[in-house]
Amino acid sequence: MCFQFMQSISQLVGACVNQGTQGIKSSQSYRIPMCLLVVLPGIMLLCLFFTPESPVWFMNKDKPQQALASLRKINRSNKSYDPAADMQAIETQVALEREQAKDATWASLITDPIERRKLFYACGVMFVQQINGIQFWYTYGVVFAQSIGVADPFTINTIIYVLQIITVGVAVMLGNKISRRNNLIVCSIGILISLITVGGLGTTRSADGTFSRGIGIGIVVLAYINIIFYNFSIGTLSYSIASEMSVGRNRNKITSCAMAVFFITVWLMVFTSPYMYYDGNLGPKIGFVYGGTTVLLLAYSWFCVGETAGRSNADIERLFQDKVPVREWAKYVIIHDENAMGQKKNEDEEQIEMA
């Protein structure tokens, strides 16, 4: 969630730079924003020389002395720091990961039904995060506002990012206090309605291709509503869901697949949007297209999202191992003792599987 919040801040900075340079009557209007793109990566590159290496990485490379030195460097502000406990925890973690890696294979993501379910959930959430057409507002927001005849398109685009920061901030604070499943379902319906309404307003275009001022303002307001619903739900929660679904021995492989699906879907949406909008002559009626794809988001929220609040990675792994339907995750009770593996609330008989 915090990743989305920091990303929102950087997008707002970029939008403000674009708004500030759009009035320059020379090539500097685009060269300045392009040059500023290297500032933050440049700072990060310089800071790499002063960043301690991960002690976990050193332990993975069987370099315990360097791991010990790294821990002391990271905690140098604590004069009484004793690295013994952290070293033991890292050793245990590395040993567990190595044990799990023995059974971690790419083939098991397809052949093992439990691992296949994890893969589907993790990749699915990154797919539906983008398939609802959100990139259209972000990537082509200025051009879209100009095409429907709304004044100050750069200001409208900047407001989009202001709303995003506010909404993501609220979502971060309330993320674990609101039912994730209900949040996604309600907001998915809100996204669907706003997109269908944008498509409907797009049918009022006059013969010369223009829209009335009221219709233009209505479309912009609906775009803002769409941004709010998106960032309060799937835009912020998708990264957490993908991480939580990538549990067990294939965690790194599942995470890699999920991120690959994310970037492929982003490219697909950014690439096809202008063709549908201009070459297909859809204009704002593109809302009908993205309304249709948003049904996939709604379906995913209903069939694939369970409540994981208060659950550890080990608990989530157990939910998969016990093949618990996502609608029952919130009520499923896990007995943490050496013999019992799981129990559902209100069951007549206790379901025990010997470890």
Residues 6+ apart with CB under 8 A from 219: 148, 150, 198, 201, 202, 211, 284
**Selection from 131, 121, 135, 326 nearest residue 243 by Cα:** 121
DSSP percent split of the chain into helix, strand, coil, nearest 5: 70, 0, 25
Say if CB 294 and CB 191 are below 8 A apart: yes
Percent of the chain with pLDDT over 90: 44
Model confidence pLDDT, tens digit, residues 256-297:
999 999 999 999 999 999 999 989 989 999 999 999 999 999
184-211 mean pLDDT: 92
155-184 mean pLDDT: 87
Model confidence pLDDT, tens digit, residues 215-244:
989 999 999 999 999 999 999 899 999 999
Residue 347 banded pLDDT, cuts 50, 70, 90: very low
**Would you give the DSSP letter of residue 278?**
I
Greater pLDDT, 258 or 251: 258
**Can you give the pLDDT at residue 5?**
66
| Residue 39 confidence (pLDDT) above 90 | no
| Residue 112 confidence (pLDDT) above 60 | yes
**Can you give the pLDDT at residue 3?**
63
Please state, rounded to an integer, the average pLDDT across all residues of the chain. Answer: 86
**Selection from 334, 311, 338, 154 nearest residue 247 by Cα:** 311
**Can you give the pLDDT at residue 344?**
42
| Residue 103 confidence (pLDDT) above 90 | no
Residue 58 banded pLDDT, cuts 50, 70, 90: very high
Residue 2 banded pLDDT, cuts 50, 70, 90: low
The H or E element spanning position 343 is strand 343-344
Instruction: For the chain, list the domains and their CATH numbers.
Output: 2-42+108-304 (1.20.1250.20), 52-101 (no CATH)
Distance CA 121, CA 300 (A): 9
334-342 mean pLDDT: 54
Distance CA 78, CA 335 (A): 38
**Selection from 170, 169, 140 nearest residue 156 by Cα:** 140
Residue 348 banded pLDDT, cuts 50, 70, 90: very low
Say if CB 235 and CB 168 are below 8 A apart: yes
